Amino acid sequence: MARIIQITDLHVLQDPQALLKGVDVRYFLERVVEQLREQESACDALVITGDHTHDELEASYCYLRDLFAPWSDRLFQVPGNHDERRILRSVFSARIDGHHDELIQFHFETSGWFCLGLDTHDPGRVSGILTEQQVAAARRHADNSAAERIAVFCHHPPVLLESEWMDAIGLAGAEHLRSWCESDPRLQLVCCGHVHHESEHTCGHATILTTPSTGVQFSPLGAVPNFIPGQPGYRVLELTEQGYRTTVTRIDEVATPVL
Ligand SMILES: [Fe+2]
């Protein structure tokens, strides 16, 4: 059994005192990390599915590199819309290969699962993008693996969430990932961030999951971004040769936005 932790949408700012929508994002992230240190120090992988920072500044990424040092040998990352590939890559150069603005993706195998990170960052946009070639390359990669199950990690969810405002900042090219979900019974999990709340949908053979932010929480209701009080958290995935189990775990404190 492999135990994978997914955290997402950290939105850290360079200034340690700065607030985001009235929420002290560093404070809540540090409470999440404290809980991870107590409960998940032995996890097999820690996956960050994007929006590492809110300001995309080097100092913000350096703060995160230090914070996640206990998992530095098991850290896997993809960028979100609030990320800068060059800086993310240079600060985490021990974990991220490639050059400059190339896609930041990852893959590893564990307990019969091929785990794959897809980069959906579209520079200058809140929405994301996946190209047909990118998904085809990922699929070829997975086909070369003997793993019987596939889990994809990416920032933007590839399905509509029945939310007027969230669906407006969705994923161009999502149909390429959806058609993979529909045609390949091995692809059973897609774990995403971006929408700062917990949800579960089905697409073909796959369950599409979204995970709460470590800071500011969103509601899917309404036509414009909807910030709500909520407990920051993360997702625990237990991957086995037979399937998977997953839960969202939250800290005890509520992050209350001030608008
Ligand atoms: Fe975000």
CB 76 within 8 A of CB 87: no
Locate the domains of the chain by residue range: 2-250
Q: Are 158 and 202 in contact (CB under 8 A)?
A: no
Tokens of 206: 């796959």
Q: In the numeric block, which tokens belong to residue 149?
A: 């199950």
Q: Is 55 exposed, middle or buried (0-12, 13-18, 19+ CB in 10 A)?
A: middle
pLDDT in tens, 199-257: 999 999 999 999 999 999 999 999 999 999 999 999 999 999 999 999 999 999 999 99
Topology classification of domain 2-250? Purple Acid Phosphatase; chain A, domain 2 (3.60.21)
SS3 191: strand
Expressed in angstroms and rounded, the spacing between residue 82 Cα and the centre of ligand 1 is: 7
Nearest-10 crossing angle of helices 25-39, 58-67: 20
Record the pTM.
0.98
Contact 211/4 with Cβ under 8 angstroms?
no
Cα 232 to middle of ligand 1, angstroms: 13
| Predicted confidence (pLDDT) at residue 259 exceeds the cutoff of 90 | no
Token pair 């999502």 is at which residue? Answer: 174
pLDDT, position 204: 98
Q: What is the 77 CA–ligand 1 centroid distance (Å)?
A: 14
